[in-house]
């Protein structure tokens, strides 16, 4: 295995910090730390949605405040606006119920290009007041996904397979730097007839702070990855590993140690998403990873899969809700209550019978 | 012991809680719920995924589901093989058996081969096998088995193998199993809260699983499987929600005319 020493470019890119949206940065040495700016209120964001999304214009209930979200419902749809309004999810249950009937042969999938253009068109038409892109940002296709169905009779007959929904996920680049993690994502899901089944976005408003982070060299990021994953897998991953010239986006597997493989790595700003972030925490440089470890042999091979992000700045700032940052900075992570052993300290009671189902209405 | 629910008079407790975070939830008869999870393993025979991810995920599921349902046990996987398999799956809630609850949530390591899906127990070199399971035929009669672990619902190796792995557990009357056709990544444990919350909102159980796991990480490959009398019935039953769960007819053995599944990939 080749050991590469010395610093190489962190992102295969960089130049002056302020670039036009289409320019690619090269040899980036430092990036400014971002902070999140409040959108105001979820009510104001809901108002924007109701003025933009056709389905929300009629039959909506009064907004209902729930824990961490504001909800309106219609005859067959539900719209949740999360937190301060930077995230939301729409689901049309009637469309979802039609998905099966519109199933398509997997060989006749909606192409990625069509899915991207259809998704972009929807975002521009219906969500442009929510998915705001300053001049230095651009919307980029992050991934696509398909929801498939299949089935068969117990004798193996009548087997079928169909794609029932198609999903486009967009993210954003800020001055050419991608945002990794669950934050800064817009997902639109289409049935095969083009109906929007659902959309969900997590689109915080970022502000450039006065603080600048110097980027760690790729070899250091790989060492951090080994350290973090070594802790998670409880394996010694201290041996030298291959460090590619650019680690902005690794898509080919790299062995981190015996039985432990890095599947992919994507570097940029790291935002874990509204479900996991501390809104007051800085948005800083990070590399999102997928790692798998295998144990066992023959017929009994178990795969353990890990995802997360390692800080990519030489001196990352504290973020109590970023476990890998806590490891790198030496901060203790809170322990969780464990499951007990069955039968110990448990008052054994008879299992109650299941209630009689209510008659259909 | 097998309960005949049709002849038992029982007061249905319909959830009527109106706490601030439950306001929009759709009422359903409270389920008996059990959780069995394992973070670390005897002599490290399986990996500890770190960050207390498993315990945190299971605590989050428990905290959410118990707002509307009866969480009867939260156990680890020490010595759990016989109470998950047909050997002793009706031994009761004190021993954490699969058939002692309506809904069993599990998180740990798992896998699949040509003849069985398997769940790694805490005990070294011990696994519970789907081929040894018959779920839903004793005690409370399990209806939903939800497993956050890799590859329990592997689909890529042919229909014969899928049947070999899953016909035995479904033959007891199990309504739905959720899992993954490939990997589910430990890391974003918020999906456990979201899974329970979506179900409580009245979304289909299968869709709740697919969406909560996929949004947690777009590389996750969540999958669910259910049975039906025929293909149409299977499709209809794939939309089962918590409010409709107890009214879902139980299909056992020869009454099962179709297996169906759905997955993000």
Question: Which ipTM value was assigned to this complex?
Answer: 0.90
Whether the predicted pLDDT of A87 surpasses 90: yes
For the residues A131-139, what does the mean pLDDT come to?
94
B144-148 vs B127-129, strand pairing mode: unpaired
End-to-end CA distance of chain B: 41
Instruction: Return the residue in B51, B106, B166, B203 with the most chain A beta carbons within 10 A, the one to mutate for interface testing.
Output: B51
Task: Name residue A34's beta-bridge partners.
Answer: A208, A283
Helices assigned H by DSSP within chain A: 42-52, 93-98, 112-126, 218-233, 323-329
Whether the predicted pLDDT of B7 surpasses 50: no
Whether the predicted pLDDT of B10 surpasses 80: no
Give me the domain span that covers residue B115.
31-263
Concatenated DSSP letters for B156-192?
TT-HHHHHHHHHHHHTTT--EEEEESS---BS-THHH
- R_g over Cα of chain B: 17
User: Does A164 contact B262 at a Cβ distance shorter than 8 Å?
Assistant: yes
In this predicted structure, which of A24-38, A84-98, A192-206 has the lowest mean pLDDT? A24-38
What is the CA angle A227-A229-A233, rounded to 5?
120
Whether the predicted pLDDT of A6 surpasses 60: no
Task: Tell me the residues of chain A between 21 and 60 that have a Cβ less than 8 Å away from chain B.
Answer: none
Q: A63 with A163: CB under 8 angstroms?
A: no
Band of residue A335 on the pLDDT scale cut at 50, 70, 90: low
For the residues B174-182, what does the mean pLDDT come to?
98
Whether the predicted pLDDT of A336 surpasses 80: no
Query: Closest Cα to residue A268, out of A144, A134, A140, A173?
Result: A173
Does residue B91 fall inside a structural domain? yes
Find the farthest-apart pair of alpha carbons in chain A and give their distance in angstroms, rounded.
Answer: 72
Closest Cβ–Cβ partner in B44, B187, B201 for A306: B187
Whether the predicted pLDDT of A268 surpasses 90: yes
Percent of chain A with pLDDT over 70: 88
Whether the predicted pLDDT of A352 surpasses 90: no
Closest Cβ–Cβ partner in A156, A275, A323 for B159: A156
Closest Cβ–Cβ partner in B13, B21, B94 for A348: B94
User: Does A231 contact B50 at a Cβ distance shorter than 8 Å?
Assistant: yes
Shortest Cα distance, chain A CAs vs residue B149, angstroms = 8
Q: A296 with A290: CB under 8 angstroms?
A: no
Percent of chain B with pLDDT over 70: 91
User: Does B109 contact A304 at a Cβ distance shorter than 8 Å?
Assistant: yes
**How many angstroms separate the CA atoms of A307 and A314, rounded?**
21
Residue A235's pLDDT is what? 83
Band of residue B33 on the pLDDT scale cut at 50, 70, 90: very high
Q: Give me chain A's average pLDDT, please.
A: 86
Which residues in chain B touch residue A303, judged by CB atoms under 8 angstroms apart? 111, 150-151, 183
Whether the predicted pLDDT of A350 surpasses 90: no
Does residue B6 fall inside a structural domain? no
Whether the predicted pLDDT of A328 surpasses 50: yes
Both tokens of B265, joined, read 């990939």
Band of residue A11 on the pLDDT scale cut at 50, 70, 90: very low
What is the CA angle A113-A118-A124, rounded to 5?
125
For the residues B167-177, what does the mean pLDDT come to?
98
User: Does B263 contact A147 at a Cβ distance shorter than 8 Å?
Assistant: yes
User: Does A147 contact B262 at a Cβ distance shorter than 8 Å?
Assistant: yes
Whether the predicted pLDDT of B55 surpasses 70: yes
CATH label of the domain that carries residue B140: 3.40.50
Query: Closest Cα to residue A90, out of A118, A132, A48, A142?
Result: A48
Band of residue A57 on the pLDDT scale cut at 50, 70, 90: confident
Which residues in chain B touch residue A339, judged by CB atoms under 8 angstroms apart? 35-38, 55, 58, 74-77
Task: Tell me the residues of chain A between 288 and 347 that have a Cβ less than 8 Å away from chain B.
Answer: 290, 292-293, 295-296, 299-308, 323, 333-343, 346-347
Concatenated DSSP letters for A318-329?
P-TT-HHHHHHH
Percent of chain B with pLDDT over 90: 86
pLDDT in tens, A14-36: 322 223 333 344 447 899 999 99
Shortest Cα distance, chain B CAs vs residue A230, angstroms = 10
User: Does A342 contact B95 at a Cβ distance shorter than 8 Å?
Assistant: yes
More confident residue, B9 or A159: A159
Shortest Cα distance, chain A CAs vs residue B232, angstroms = 10
- B36 phi and psi, to 5 degrees? -135, 120
Residue B24's pLDDT is what? 54
Residue A109's pLDDT is what? 87
Q: Which residues contact A47 (CB under 8 A, 6 or more apart)?
A: none
Closest chain B CA to residue A71? B24
CA distances from A24 to A34, A132, A134, A344 (A): 19, 21, 17, 60
Both tokens of A81, joined, read 């606006």
Whether the predicted pLDDT of A80 surpasses 60: yes
Query: Closest Cα to residue B1, out of B81, B104, B132, B100?
Result: B100
**How many angstroms separate the CA atoms of A332 and A313, rounded?**
20
**How many angstroms separate the CA atoms of A233 and A236, rounded?**
9
Does residue B23 fall inside a structural domain? no
User: Does A169 contact B218 at a Cβ distance shorter than 8 Å?
Assistant: yes
Which residues in chain A touch residue B59, judged by CB atoms under 8 angstroms apart? 336-337
Shortest Cα distance, chain A CAs vs residue B122, angstroms = 11
CB atoms within 10 A of CB A269: 26
Q: B163 with B153: CB under 8 angstroms?
A: no
Domain boundaries along the sequence of chain A: 40-85+87-203, 215-329
Which residues in chain A touch residue B185, judged by CB atoms under 8 angstroms apart? 290, 305-307
- R_g over Cα of chain A: 24
CA distances from A104 to A107, A153, A157, A165, B91 (A): 8, 20, 19, 9, 45
Q: A267 with A225: CB under 8 angstroms?
A: no
Does residue B119 fall inside a structural domain? yes
Total domains in chain B come to: 1
Task: Tell me the residues of chain A between 254 and 283 that have a Cβ less than 8 Å away from chain B.
Answer: 263-264, 272-273, 275-276
pTM of the predicted model, to two decimals? 0.90
Burial A103-135 (b: 16+ CB within 10 A, else e): bbeeeebbeeeebeebbbebbeebbeebbeeee
pLDDT in tens, B144-157: 999 999 999 999 99
Residue A55's pLDDT is what? 85
> Is A189 in CB contact (< 8 Å) with chain B?
no
Query: Closest Cα to residue B37, out of B127, B121, B130?
Result: B121
pLDDT in tens, A156-186: 999 999 999 999 999 999 999 999 999 999 9
In this predicted structure, which of A13-27, A82-96, B39-53, B69-83 has the lowest mean pLDDT? A13-27
Instruction: Return the residue in A70, A165, A354, A361 with the most chain B beta carbons within 10 A, the one to mutate for interface testing.
Output: A354
For the residues A242-269, what does the mean pLDDT come to?
87
Residue A359's pLDDT is what? 59
């Amino acid at each position: 295995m080749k050991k590469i020493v010395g610093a190489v470019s962190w992102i295969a890119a960089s130049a002056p910090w302020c670039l036009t949206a289409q320019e690619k940065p090269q040899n980036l040495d430092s990036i400014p730390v971002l902070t999140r700016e409040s959108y105001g209120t979820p009510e104001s964001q809901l108002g924007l949605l109701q003025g933009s999304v056709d389905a929300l214009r009629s039959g909506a209930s009064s907004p209902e405040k729930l824990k961490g979200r504001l909800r309106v419902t219609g005859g067959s749809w539900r719209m949740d606006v999360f937190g301060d309004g930077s995230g939301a999810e729409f689901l049309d249950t009637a469309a979802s119920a039609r998905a099966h009937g519109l199933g398509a042969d997997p060989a006749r999938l909606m192409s990625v290009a069509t899915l991207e253009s259809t998704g972009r068109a929807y975002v521009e038409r219906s969500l442009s007041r929510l998915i705001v892109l300053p001049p230095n940002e651009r919307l980029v296709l992050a991934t696509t996904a398909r929801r498939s169905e299949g089935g068969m009779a117990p004798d193996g007959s009548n087997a079928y397979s169909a794609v029932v929904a198609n999903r486009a996920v967009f993210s954003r680049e800020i001055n050419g730097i991608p945002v990794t993690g669950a934050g800064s994502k817009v997902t639109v899901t289409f049935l095969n007839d083009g109906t929007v089944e659902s959309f969900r976005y997590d689109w915080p408003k970022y502000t450039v702070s006065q603080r600048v982070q110097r980027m760690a060299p790729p070899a250091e990021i790989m060492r951090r990855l080994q350290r973090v994953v070594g802790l998670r897998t409880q394996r010694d991953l201290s041996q030298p590993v291959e460090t590619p010239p650019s680690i902005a986006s690794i898509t080919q597997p790299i062995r981190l140690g015996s039985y432990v493989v890095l599947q992919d790595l994507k570097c940029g700003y790291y935002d874990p998403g509204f479900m996991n972030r501390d809104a007051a925490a800085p948005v800083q440089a990070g590399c999102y990873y997928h790692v798998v470890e295998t144990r066992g042999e023959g017929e009994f091979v178990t795969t353990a899969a890990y995802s997360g992000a390692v800080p990519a700045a030489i001196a990352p700032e504290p973020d109590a809700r970023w476990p890998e940052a806590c490891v790198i900075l030496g901060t203790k992570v809170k322990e969780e209550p464990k499951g007990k052993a069955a039968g110990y300290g448990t008052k054994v009671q008879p299992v109650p019978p299941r209630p009689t189902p209510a008659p259909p209405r | 012991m097998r309960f005949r629910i049709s002849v038992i008079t029982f007061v249905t407790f319909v959830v009527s809680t109106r706490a601030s975070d439950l306001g929009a939830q759709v009422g359903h008869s409270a389920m008996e719920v059990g959780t069995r999870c394992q973070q670390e393993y005897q002599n490290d025979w399986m990996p500890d995924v770190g960050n207390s991810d498993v315990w945190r995920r299971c605590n989050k599921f428990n905290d959410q589901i118990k707002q509307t349902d009866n969480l009867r046990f939260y156990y680890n996987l020490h010595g759990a093989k016989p109470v998950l398999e047909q050997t002793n799956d009706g031994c009761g809630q004190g021993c954490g058996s699969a058939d002692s609850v309506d809904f069993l949530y599990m998180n740990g390591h798992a896998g699949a081969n040509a003849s069985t899906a398997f769940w790694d127990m805490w005990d070294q070199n011990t696994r519970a096998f789907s081929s040894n399971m018959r779920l839903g035929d004793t005690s409370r009669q399990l209806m939903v088995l939800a497993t956050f672990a890799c590859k329990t619902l592997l689909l890529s190796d042919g229909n014969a193998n899928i049947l070999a792995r899953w016909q035995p557990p479904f033959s007891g009357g199990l309504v739905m199993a959720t899992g993954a056709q490939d990997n589910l990544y430990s890391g974003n444990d918020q999906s456990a809260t979201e899974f329970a919350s979506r179900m409580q909102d009245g979304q289909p159980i299968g869709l709740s699983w697919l969406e909560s796991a996929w949004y947690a990480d777009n590389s996750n490959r969540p999958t669910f499987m259910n049975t039906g009398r025929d293909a149409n019935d299977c499709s209809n039953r794939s939309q089962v929600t918590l409010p409709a769960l107890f009214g879902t007819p139980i299909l056992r053995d020869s009454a099962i005319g179709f297996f169906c599944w759905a997955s993000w990939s």
